[in-house]
Amino acid sequence: MIKSDYAGKFVVVEGLDGSGKSAQVNLLIDFLIQQGKEVVETREPTIESRAGQKIKQALRKEISLEPLELQKLYVQDRKEHLENKVIPALKDGKFVVSSRYAFSTFAYGYSDGLNVDSLVEMNKEFLLPDLTIIVDVPPEACIKRIEGRGEPEELFEKLEKLKKVNEIYKKTPTMFENVVIINGERAIPEVFEDIKKEINKLL
């Protein structure tokens, strides 16, 4: 992936479904604003692109796609996301905080039977984040949290799939720079204290 030389900082929060990413993203954005930073919040897949809309349909099981076809849609959505939203904000010196990015493609694509090296190759021309935080919660705990929501199960919300996703997340810091794993099995403020230490290195 390509190192950023933009004035702003690109921060990604990753983790299994049910790991508590959303709560940490919210705390992170509030913290950055308190530090006087301009922040753009975003997520993948987006809902702006045609590819992103099709992904959402597949995740809700409204349409059926082959695993490679699904990941190609993620790549297309990511390309548009970077060009239209992320890079313009970084050029303006803003912090961009994204819930999910290419690392989700590597991990979730692998859980769907795809080759990780091939998935990495598909994303090699994209921007390397200045910091990627992986909120680490065991798959079993995530499944319990998901079940507690009382919402319809999405495509990847199965224990065996999440175990495979987790396998790749654990390896990500050895594969890419600027990736840290944070223990998410604690109270939300405690988890954020560790995230804050990493963010402070960028300020």
* Predicted TM-score (pTM) of this structure: 0.93
CA 51 to chain centre: 17
Among all chains, which residue has been given the structure tokens 């548009």?
A: 80
pLDDT tens digits for range 8-33: 999 999 999 899 999 999 999 999 99
pLDDT tens digits for range 142-181: 888 878 776 656 555 688 889 999 999 999 999 999 999 9
pLDDT tens digits for range 76-95: 999 999 999 999 999 999 99
In this structure, what token pair is assigned to residue 109?
């694509």
Tally the domains of the chain.
1
* Structural domain for 21, as ranges: 2-200
Averaged confidence pLDDT in the chain: 94
| The pLDDT value given to residue 156 | 58
Show contacts of 65-70: CB within 8 Å, 24+ apart. 67/109, 67/112, 67/113, 67/114, 68/114, 70/109, 70/112
Task: Check which CATH number belongs to the domain holding 7 and give it.
Answer: 3.40.50.300
pLDDT average, residue stretch 116-128: 97
Gap between the Cα atoms of 159 and 165, Å rounded:
10
pLDDT average, residue stretch 52-56: 96
